Each structure stands twice: as structure tokens, then as C-alpha cells.
């Protein structure tokens, strides 16, 4: 009979509480990361108009290094603050720069030299590439124009 007795003095008591605590802490951390990942895009979406407006006010000039070497008839897309903009070196050797944000619903417009126009693919808006004037389609206003100064090694685009 004594062979069946278990000697309890050799059993080591383990405490499983730290493992559970570690699991709960890891789950809480993962939950916070998940909540942050969900909240950040919402925050950016809601905050972006104010930030973009502040950014637009802050930036007054952009220097485009090497853009002076752009061939006639070419265009360069760049950022003026947080907004897309375009520099056009006209076939007549003129230089103009405009905001590339369509005045209809804000799509980004593109210069199409073969058609001699600035085109918005969203709803077919067309602008004059020399003046930025809205020519056809739904855009209600001309593109915002910038001042252009061509230097020896760059082109400086600034608020008009």
C-alpha cells in the first residue's frame, strides 16, 4: 500500500499568474496598437484641411534645381507645399506655373503638350496652358497661377 502514496513534498508549486498577466498585458498592448492604427487615418482625414491650409500659407516659394534646363514644350510636376503644381516651359520659350489642383472637384490636372492643353481626367475639364484659364468642361475658375523666375541653375516658383 505504501507504494501508491505520492510524496507531495517533492511537488513544486508553480504560480501561473505571471503568465496570465503577461498575456493580458500583451493583449492590451495589441489592442492599443490596433486602436491607434484605426484612429490615426481618421485623425489625418479630419485634420488634413486645417494642416493643408496652414501649409499653403507657410510655403511662399519653391526652388526647382536644374529645372531651367527643361526643354521647351515640357512640363514638370512638383509640390508647392502639400499641393501638386506644374511648371510649363512653353514651346514659345515662355515659363508658367500653376497649381495642379482642378478647380472643379480637386483632381490633379496634367499638361498634354500634344493637345496644347491642361487636362483634368476626372470630368474632362480643360485649361489653357499659357494662362491657366478654364476653357471647357466643369471647372468654374482658372488654375491658380504662380510667379516664375528662371535662374542660371534653377527655376524659382513663388506666390503671385
Residue 102 Cβ, how far from ligand FES at the closest point, in Å?
A: 3
Binding site for ligand FES (CB under 6 A): 102, 104-105, 107, 120, 122-123, 125, 137-139
What Å distances lie between residue 77 and 82, 92, 129, CA to CA?
13, 19, 14
Residue 108 Cβ, how far from ligand FES at the closest point, in Å?
A: 9
Residue 101 Cβ, how far from ligand FES at the closest point, in Å?
A: 9
For residues 98 and 48, give the distance between their C-alpha atoms in angstroms, rounded to a whole number: 22
Considering beta carbons, is residue 89 or 104 the nearer one to ligand FES?
104
Considering beta carbons, is residue 82 or 108 the nearer one to ligand FES?
108
Considering beta carbons, is residue 123 or 141 the nearer one to ligand FES?
123
For residues 56 and 50, give the distance between their C-alpha atoms in angstroms, rounded to a whole number: 10
What Å distances lie between residue 107 and 5, 28, 70, 139, 143, CA to CA?
83, 41, 25, 11, 12
Amino acid at each position: 500500500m505504501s507504494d501508491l502514496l505520492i510524496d507531495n513534498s517533492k511537488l513544486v508549486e508553480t504560480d501561473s499568474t505571471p503568465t496570465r498577466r503577461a498575456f493580458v498585458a500583451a493583449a492590451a498592448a495589441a489592442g492599443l496598437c490596433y486602436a491607434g492604427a484605426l484612429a490615426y487615418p481618421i485623425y489625418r482625414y479630419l485634420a488634413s484641411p486645417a494642416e493643408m491650409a496652414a501649409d499653403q500659407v507657410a510655403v511662399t516659394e519653391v526652388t526647382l534645381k536644374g529645372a531651367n534646363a527643361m526643354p521647351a514644350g515640357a512640363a514638370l510636376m512638383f509640390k508647392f507645399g502639400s499641393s501638386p503644381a506644374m511648371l510649363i516651359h512653353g514651346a514659345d520659350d515662355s515659363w508658367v506655373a500653376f497649381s495642379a489642383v482642378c478647380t472643379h472637384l480637386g483632381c490633379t490636372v496634367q499638361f498634354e503638350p500634344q493637345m496644347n492643353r491642361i487636362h483634368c481626367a476626372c470630368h474632362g475639364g480643360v485649361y489653357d496652358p499659357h494662362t491657366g484659364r478654364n476653357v471647357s468642361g466643369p471647372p468654374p475658375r482658372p488654375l491658380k497661377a504662380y510667379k516664375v523666375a528662371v535662374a542660371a541653375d534653377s527655376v524659382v516658383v513663388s506666390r503671385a
